[in-house]
Amino acid sequence: MNISITLSSAACKPIVNFQPALTSLLNQHQQQRKDKVVVIMGATGSGKSKLAIDLATHFPPAEIVNSDKMQVYKGLDITTNKVTEEESRGVPHHLLSIVDDPNYNFTANDFCHHASLAIDSIVGRDGLPIIAGGSNSFIEALVNHDSTFRARYDSLIFFGMMRLFT
């Protein structure tokens, strides 16, 4: 069954002209384009760091912001499988080994503060921020609950990465 409605221009004469307002809104949207942030999430050992580094080397100047809650602490390099200098392939990393005191509780709010500073700095240098790590609560706090972040950035999220065997 097809339904067709035809309206004549005489019957649909607009009372209000929305064109100027619509044009203004579209212009504002184009002027307020948000910067992009890539987010890579997944389970331990799923290849998040490698994917982040691969993306960063393909889309320079990109930099990586760590979102693993244990990798922010100094001295846990082997335990937390932190990226080595060689593995980083020259890609700058942020929020690795920034907390000296192992008893300090680095919270999601702390992460949002430090990550926002790093992301703003990266974007200020025309770089692409890539957030990578397995602490979903950190990423959720930043991407879903930080209104300033949401107003400034569009996020592309990769979740559930699978290890590739070659």
Q: Where are the domains of the chain?
A: 48-158
What pLDDT digit, counting tens, does each position of 34-43 carry? 999 999 998 8
In this structure, are residues 60 and 130 in contact, taking their beta carbons and an 8 Å threshold?
A: no
Strand, coil or helix: 28: helix
* Residue 37 DSSP one-character state: E
Please give the CATH number for the structural domain made up of 48-158. Answer: 3.40.50.300
| First CA to last CA distance, the chain | 54
Whole-model pTM? Answer: 0.75
**Length of the chain counted residue by residue:** 166
Burial class (CB in 10 A: 0-12, 13-18, 19+), 11: exposed
What pLDDT digit, counting tens, does each position of 96-154 carry? 989 999 899 999 999 999 999 999 999 999 999 999 988 889 999 999 999 999 999 99
